[in-house]
Amino acid sequence: MPFGLTNAPASFQTLVNDIFQDLLNVYVVAYLDDIMVFSKYEKEHVIHVSTVLSRLRANNLFAKASKCLCHVSSVEYLGYVVSSEGLKMNQAKFQQILNWPPPRNLKALQSFLGFANFYRRFIKNYSKKISSLTSFLKRDSCFPLNEEALKTDASNYALGAVLSQVSESGKHHISFDSRKVIPAELNYEIHDKEILGIVWALKRWRAFLLSLSSPFEVLTNHSSLQYFMSSKVLTCRQARWAEFHFSITYHPGRLATSLDSLSRGDDVYLERGEDFISKNPMNFQQLIKKDEFKVDSFSNLIDSIQKALWQDSQYRSILQELGK
């Protein structure tokens, strides 16, 4: 592969794909010059490796022995650790994140978040955990230099999704993802927010879902969404989202604890900012926790209001004018 040409990697990848076109995703995975051969049994693995080496030699391509690993149960590949159990984080990279020095400026924060985002699929509630850091990426935000900037806080308005695959042994989770709801999306009705979560998940995992030969199923804890695809009257926003083809099945929230933990929590409340309630009155309920608003007796509350009114001079003057 010649160096310096902008199309050299693409040309080499095309060559590799042509050489192993009938073996790709069967027992060969190839990304440029990183080729991985996987097998279920040791005997067939020897045959698979021999086939790959023979094809490389037939096309004048050679593997460097010092860079080859054979007959291993796990291997580091493209930043991940691949084994019979699936994908795992590279422990060396994970330790690097733990030892990362606290960011002291915006550029250092962007560098850390860019590195950590690569492993977000392995971190539960990732968007919730870093929400206090991403808030400092906004324009004109003041970047603090103390340790409080590293403490996590979260927004109660977030989207969460889980991609699962059903096999003979049961359901296996492939990927988790979540994100904060942007300010414009705060004004969406509850029904539209639920649909937004589905559409966002479909776009996020489009590469997986488009390759399916059979229809896939979407599970939601919002019962009215079952009839979304068959609805005759849609809003403009809902009509744009209807381009995706899927079936929706109601799944009670009490059975989806792993999904709810990605988007909500008892200790998570939306940030209180300017025009918070005026933009969406439904946000008012998020400002009060259950243990912050208690009334011992409704009659006592009425008596307190009446006493306070009689102490108001403007209220008394209005009553006097009405009595004339």
Residue ranges per structural domain of the chain: 8-71, 91-150, 158-263, 294-324
pLDDT score recorded for residue 115: 75
39 is written with which tokens? 């097998």
Model-wide pTM > 0.75: no
Q: What's the rounded Cα separation, in Å, for the pair 136 and 115? A: 17
Q: Is the dihedral of CA 296, 298, 304, 305 positive or negative?
A: positive
Task: Using CA atoms of 188, 189, 191, 195 in order, give the dihedral in degrees to the nearest 10.
Answer: 0
139 is written with which tokens? 């324009």
Please, what are the averages of pLDDT over each run of 10 residues along the chain (324 residues)? Answer: 71 89 89 88 90 90 86 83 79 72 78 77 74 72 45 50 73 74 78 78 77 71 65 67 67 52 44 45 44 51 75 78 72
Let me know the angle formed at the C-alpha of 181 by 176 and 186, rounded to the nearest 5 degrees.
145
- E-strand spans in the chain? 28-31, 34-37, 74-77, 80-83, 86-89, 158-167, 170-180, 217-220, 247-250
Tell me the backbone φ, ψ of residue 256, rounded to 5 degrees. Answer: -125, 50
Q: What's the rounded Cα separation, in Å, for the pair 95 and 115? A: 12
Which residues on neighbouring strands pair with residue 177, listed in sequence order? 161
